[in-house]
Homo-oligomer: A and B are copies of this chain.
Amino acid sequence: MSYSFNDRSYISQQLENHIVKVHSIAKNANTKGKYIVFGVGSTQLLSAAVFALSTNLSSRANVVAEAPFYSPYKEQTDYFETARFHFVDNLKNVSDYGSEVIEFVTSPNNPDGNFKKPVFEGSSVQYIYDHAYYWPHFTAIPAPANEDVMIFTLSKLTGHAGSRFGWALVKDKQIYDRMLTYIDIAELGTSRDTQLRALQLFKAMQQGDGKEIFQFAYKTMRDRWEQLSQIISLSTRFTIQEIPPQFCTFFQKVRGPSPAYAWVKCERKEDSNCTEVFSRAKITGRRGSRFGSDERYVRLSLIRGQDDFDLLIHRLTDLVSEEN
């Protein structure tokens, strides 16, 4: 089995067609006029995009993300730091390092599930839109996303994180070519076994009108969020993020939130380490500092298996009932 397909690319045309179709069903991205790059999860594509966007700039690129943000943006950029780019923790310091900016915009955001807008603007700012969670089961879809560089992942669509399959929709041919160069130099292509698995999943998903997976997953996520919200509403010790109801073009109605994570704040002065508070109640969360945020926050996952979720609800109920 060769490195490449018969058309000499590393990218299955058939799989590409199915990706275009899933976006048209979910109404979450405009694929028209976009090039598609495959990657090892979205993770590899984040790095590929930073390398691609930092080529031929007038000065070293400042890679930024507004807190709270998904930690790999910083961890990966720090790890691969080159003369062409570096991660800047404090957004106020960006101007010290020159005007070139590459901003990660995660929308809906991980950890808090809210839509994000860029912080930086101007001709020397480029964006990497991480749309991992921009699917009808996690958020209302107000309109198809149509940015220059958009990244998606199978992990948050079907849950097959271990398959390590992601894709980028890229408007500019030159950026697309550079991202392909990254994939080529880093790994000589994308596993064809993984592509085959992804293709089977897309085919299964797209049986009938292809909407069933979103309806099922939305119902599950919405139900989980309501259970969790209900418990937290009884608490004065903890609060969670607010996500306003919004019109969704997929469901053709205003719908409430169904995010992948709860972004919990410990409100008591003495609970300055929120992760520890939950840890003592045998609830595992990801600490606020991982997201460039305060330790007063912790992220709880709502996308684990049903047993894990039931346990979370059980222990959270106990924790909140202790307040009285």
Whether A164 contacts B186 by the Cβ 8 Å rule is no
Cα separation A2 to B303 with both chains bound (whole Å): 11
Cα separation A143 to B272 with both chains bound (whole Å): 60
A189's closest neighbor in chain B, by CB? B164
With contacts A81-B82, A82-B82, A191-B162 taken as known, whether A186 is within 8 angstroms of B1 at the C-beta atoms is no
Contact of A80 with B by CB under 8 A:
yes
Whether B40 contacts A185 by the Cβ 8 Å rule is no
Contact of A3 with B by CB under 8 A:
yes
Whether A188 contacts B4 by the Cβ 8 Å rule is no
Copy total for this chain: 2
Hey, what's the 0/1 contact readout for A277-289 against B, CB within 8 Å counting as 1?
Answer: 0000000000000
Tally of contact residues, A, Cβ under 8 A: 39
Whether A186 contacts B81 by the Cβ 8 Å rule is no
With contacts A40-B191, A162-B3, A187-B164 taken as known, whether A80 is within 8 angstroms of B79 at the C-beta atoms is no
Q: Determine the chain B residues whose CB is within 8 A of the CB of A162 once the complex forms.
A: 1-4, 189, 191-193
Q: Determine the chain B residues whose CB is within 8 A of the CB of A43 once the complex forms.
A: 186-188
A185's closest neighbor in chain B, by CB? B79
Cα separation A188 to B193 with both chains bound (whole Å): 18
Hey, what's the 0/1 contact readout for A152-174 against B, CB within 8 Å counting as 1?
Answer: 00010001111111000000000
A79's closest neighbor in chain B, by CB? B185
Cα separation A106 to B293 with both chains bound (whole Å): 46
CB within 8 Å of B: which A124-179 residues: 155, 159-165
Q: Determine the chain B residues whose CB is within 8 A of the CB of A192 once the complex forms.
A: 162-164
Report which residue of A1, A76, A193 has the largest number of chain B beta carbons within 10 angstroms of its beta carbon. A193
Contact of A47 with B by CB under 8 A:
yes
Can you report 13 A-B residue pairs in the complex whose CB atoms are below 8 A from each other?
A3-B161, A40-B191, A43-B186, A43-B188, A72-B188, A79-B182, A80-B80, A81-B82, A81-B83, A82-B82, A162-B192, A162-B193, A164-B187
